[in-house]
Amino acid sequence: MIFINKKTGVTIVILINDQFIKRNQDTHIDIEDRGYQFGDGIYEVVRVYQGKTFRLDDHLDRFERSAKEIFMELPFSKTETKLKITQLIEMNNLQDGIVYFQVTRGVAPRTHAFPQNAKPVLTAYTKKSPRPIDQFKNGIKVVTVEDIRWLRCDIKSLNLLGNVLAKQYAHEHQAEEAIQIRDNTVTEGSSSNFYIVENGKIYTHPADHFILRGITRIVVEEIANKLGIPFIEKLFSVKDVYRADEAFISSTTAEITPVIQVNDKVIGNGPGPIVRAIQEEFQKLI
């Protein structure tokens, strides 16, 4: 069954646990849901192209890993979750956009320690989201900020206030992304992974607990290996970024986006050949 908003023509079905319901239908998330009170939960965002998910299995694998890292049991198996996500996309007739899903530890009287009998809560929704083609073509400006986040950035948790503050700083400085710096080392963007290119080699922060191992980051590495481009996990500074031949970010929504300016420093001569080669191969995949 597909529910249609007669005024907008937009489908409005969401998923709560094992129920598909209209978004405007009477329902609620309990005020003592631990996701609401503690950010005690995990999430994923998956790209949908022409009605098909992109690397959904990889997202679900990371989803399971995140849950394990915070000692939380998921309410459904990977196979069951995949089926529900696929059904949601079909019910909303989503062609190009994203599907967001999260699980919180559940509802329990407010106390910091894990509750004994709380049941995890799964929610999901879809959203139309056009690809930012102009940014792919022309590149973007970014700014740098101090990385004030916690020390488990490898977990895709609901605790995103540090990322929000960084993104807001970028917005206030007419930039598309904030590149975060911890102890003079570039880690990643507020919602993306970050790379520089020097002498035909791609450099990016190691996939440790200081960054999220992005699904698109995995794809970038696969493409680089296919093209014979060295993909090197190595720490580097802002000074190294300023000297780079090229720079770019990657994420589920940003895909592969060239970075042409960092703060007041222009990088290279616009989008360069390495970024263009990665973009071309990524386009073939989708």
234 among known catalytic residues: no
Compute the C-alpha angle 40/44/49, nearest 5°. Answer: 165
Compute CA distances 250 → 95, 149, 236, whole Å: 22, 19, 17
Relative orientation angle of helices 273-285 and 215-227, to the nearest 10 degrees: 110
Question: By three-state DSSP, how is residue 56 classified?
Answer: helix
Given the residues 156, 226, 239, 265, the one annotated as active site? 156
**DSSP one-letter code for 44:** E
Cross-strand pairs, 178: 143
Q: Distance between CA atoms of 182 and 184, rounded to whole angstroms?
A: 5
Block residue for tokens 């904030």: 178
Compute CA distances 67 → 51, 199, 201, 226, whole Å: 27, 39, 34, 32
Give buried/exposed letters for 190-216 (b at 16+ CB in 10 A, else e).
Answer: bbbbbbbbbeeebbbbebeebbbbbbb
Residues with a known catalytic role: 156
